[in-house]
Structure 1
Amino acid sequence: MKNTKSTFQDYILYIAWIVSLVATLGSLYFSEIKGFIPCEFCWYQRILMYPLVVIIGIAVFEQNKNIKKYVLPFSIIGMGVSFYHYLIQKVPGLASVKPCVGGVPCNGQYINWLGFITIPFLALIAFTFITVFMLLLRRTKN
Structure 2
Amino acid sequence: MIIRERRATALAAWLALIGAWLVALTASLGAIFIGEVMGQAPCVLCWFQRAFMFPLAIILAIAAFRSDRSVIVYAAPLAAIGWVVALYHLLLYLGVVSEGLQPCGTGPSCAEGAMTLYGSLPIPLLSLCAFTAIILFLIFCYRNSKS
After TM superposition, the score normalised by the length of structure 1 is 0.87
Q: How many residues align?
A: 140
Q: Does 1:118 align with 2:129?
A: no
The alignment status of 1:107 with 2:106, answered yes or no, reads: no
Unaligned runs of 5+ in 2: none
Identify the residue that residue 90 of structure 1 maps to in structure 2: 94
1:66 has 2:92 as partner: no
Matches within 5 A, 1:1-40: 3=4, 8-40=12-44
Give the Cα separation in 2 of the matches to 1:9 and 1:87: 33
Question: Given that residues 44 and 103 in structure 2 are in contact (C-alpha distance below 8 angstroms), is that contact kept between their aligned partners in structure 1?
Answer: no
Deviation by residue 1:83-135 (Cα, 9 ceiling, x = unmatched) = 100111111652222351122212123216585x3111101000001011111
Distance 1:16 1:94 in 2: 33
**How high is the TM-score relative to the length of structure 2?**
0.84
RMSD: 2.3
Whole-angstrom CA distance in 1 between matches of 2:20 and 2:74: 13
| Cα distance change of structure 1 residues 93 and 136 upon mapping to structure 2, 3 Å threshold | closer
Runs of 4 or more consecutive aligned structure 1 residues displaced over 6 Å after TM superposition: none
Give 1 or 2: higher helix fraction. Answer: 2
Q: Percent identity?
A: 33
Is contact 2:41–2:107 with CA below 8 Å preserved after alignment? no
CA drift at 1:5: 5.3
Distance 2:105 2:74 in 1: 30
Q: In the alignment, what sits opposite 2:56?
A: 52
Q: Give 5+ residue unaligned stretches, structure 1.
A: none
